[in-house]
Structure 1
Amino acid sequence: MPEGPEIRRAADTIAKVIEGKVIEEVQVGLARLESPAKQLKGQRVRQVETRGKAMLIHFDNGLSVYSHNQLYGVWKTAKRGSLPNTKRSLRLALHAEDKSALLYSASDIGIYRYEELPSHPFLSKIGPDILDASLTWQKVSARLLDKRFCNRRISTLYLDQHFIAGIGNYLRTEILYAANIHPDLKPKQLSSEQIKALAKQTLEISHRAYQTKGHTVPGRLAKTLAKTKGSYESVRFMAFNREGLPCRKCVTPIVKAQRNGRRIYWCEGCLGDTKS
């Protein structure tokens, strides 16, 4: 499933195509969207934004398109009149004068009045967006120590969209690896310095993933790895999907485990006595 950085990049692409433009034609692939979608025709797109893993397209008439890709959904763009060659099912097409924004395969999609969004079943429950410019490491620290979250295992907490929206499986591994925090610990077990490190890395890794199309390896090392002939996955991450390969910091083999039904990776050598 795409995580916050990937959804934000998709939103950036969609915004370049339709933001500020009048939608001249609308196509839908779900019967329940046919009636509300008619109200989008002739409207100007005011803004394309993300909230965690959800994308919102706001129109001048006060309507908003909500979509969540889940496992299979994907947004695409194309020159108007030239649809992508794909076997995916078209859910929604927004055609501006010369280009189109197209949503395929998603099932979690709806059209709402802007004032209805705060009570949306998903949006009403999520925490702050991981890429929100106003989210500081101090605010992340405060959430880690909040009584709602401080007594939960970090491996669980970092997949909970109520905590922070937009963090998923690969970001969970990469953040904990960068902060040198064992996934089975709870925030209340961490020192103040560990909380600070975890909060800072939560933001730094997520923003790096957004800026580099999903890569979490830091700058200088990333440039070195880019010169190798390794696979895409082998040069993309510090720990995720690197089971058995040497840690990039201490050469101890990376281990793989299951937490919350999802795979997670860490380095036993780097963690040392921080495991309990």
Structure 2
Amino acid sequence: MPEGHSVHRIARQFAQNYVGRAVRTSSPQGRFAEGAALIDGREMLAARAVGKQMFLEFEGDLWLRVHLGMYGAWDFAGTIEVDPTIASANGRMGQTNQRGTDLGEVEVFDAAGENSLSSIGAPRRARAHVRMSEQTTGLPADDHWPPHPVGQVRLRLLTDVTCADLRGPTACEIQTPDQVVAAIAKLGPDPLVDDVDEAEERFVAVVRRKPTAIGLLLMDQAVVSGIGNVYRAELLFRAGVNPYTSGRDVPEDTVRALWRDWVRLLRIGVETGQMMTMDGLDGDAYRRAMAHRDDRHWVYHRAGLPCRVCGTAIVVEEAAGRKLYWCPSCQA
């Protein structure tokens, strides 16, 4: 499931390429035909993400709410302009599936040997589709415009030069402004949306009164928005917290540290497009980590492998239907 950093990046992609433009909408699959018809031809006014959900505003007080869930993905094709705020500040901005960042004058290549700094431009004509979700790769090139729908496309958003296809979402619905407010009110704080200090107090207050295990609370989108399985495991390891400790038994200073670490890791994820959770890596190690997921995490996806700190075998267990990775020594 895409975690918060991916959804924020997708929202920025829409803000850069769709906001201020009239959008033709359709449902090639047919399952969202009525909803698509309601916003067809309308101008997109805003694009925002809150946690794992995205909200696209159209003229006429209509909003499109999308939650990708476990299997959803956006595929972009055509001319795709880079978000200039990130590109100018950090020298990098890529689609979720494209890897790489800059290290001063050091070029960073992904596993396929692609230099992300030169291959990601603004604007550019993308002959291959660019998939916006987790752990996905580009789709075959398609010279036809607009591109032929591939698979079960729930919704297509089309401008004169850019195409976005949505497949397999958990939620895809048209909402009124009041419904959007109600949907967001159910979500926990998001460091990129809410006042960070006020959000910290809200997070701490909720966690400290809950008997629920902290490992479950971090995955509860009503407690904090955007954290998924990867960030949950990594945040708890970085804080040295046993995932089975009840929220109310986690010291307040530790709960605050968890929040502040989430603020930091989320920003890194949005800037780089990767859930980079290891600190202090040198050039070569950083390059490997950006190119390969197995080199950028402390415990996630490392079941049975020695802990990078103490050497104890990393454990994987099931918690609320999701895999939980942790070190029984460092997080005792």
> Normalising to structure 1: TM-score of the pair?
0.84
Higher mean alpha-carbon deviation, 197-206 vs 215-224, is at 215-224
**Which residue is 2:9 aligned to?**
9
Structure 2 equivalent of residue 67 of structure 1: 66
Counterpart contact for 1:93–1:102, Cα < 8 Å: yes
Task: Say yes or no: does 1:126 pair with 2:125.
Answer: no
The aligned residue for residue 54 of structure 2 is: 55
For 1:232, the equivalent position in structure 2 comes to: 292
- 2:106 alignment partner in structure 1: none
**Any gaps of 5 or more consecutive residues in structure 1?**
none
**Is 2:276 the counterpart of 1:216?**
yes
Which of 70, 82, 94 aligns to 2:146? It is 82
Q: Deviations over 1:128-154 (max 9, x none)?
A: 224325233x63354233378532210
RMSD after superposition: 2.7
1:133–1:119 distance in 2 versus 1, CA, 3 Å: closer
Q: Residue by residue, what CA displacement relative to the aligned partner does 1:101-129 show, whole Å, maximum 9, x if unpaired? A: 22122252111222332234xx4422222
With a CA cutoff of 8 Å and minimum separation of 6, indicate the structure with the bigger relative contact order: 2
- Aligned pairs for 1:10-159 (under 5 A) are 10-23=10-23, 25-29=24-28, 31=30, 33-79=32-78, 81-83=145-147, 86=150, 88-120=151-183, 123-132=184-193, 134-136=195-197, 139-146=199-206, 149-159=209-219
Q: 1:215 to 1:99 in 2, by over 3 A?
A: same
2:230 is matched by which residue type in structure 1?
Y
**Structure 1 residue 241 corresponds to structure 2 residue 301:** yes
Shifted more, 57-66 versus 240-249: the winner is: 240-249
CA distances 1:147-180 after superposition (whole Å, capped 9, x unpaired)? 7853221011111111012111111101111111
Aligned match of 1:200: 260
Aligned residues: 267
107 and 29 in structure 1: CA distance in 2 versus 1, 3 angstrom threshold? farther
Given that residues 156 and 163 in structure 2 are in contact (C-alpha distance below 8 angstroms), is that contact kept between their aligned partners in structure 1?
yes
TM-score (norm 2): 0.71
Cα offsets for 1:49-93 (capped at 9, x unmatched): 11221111101221111111112211121128232673x211111
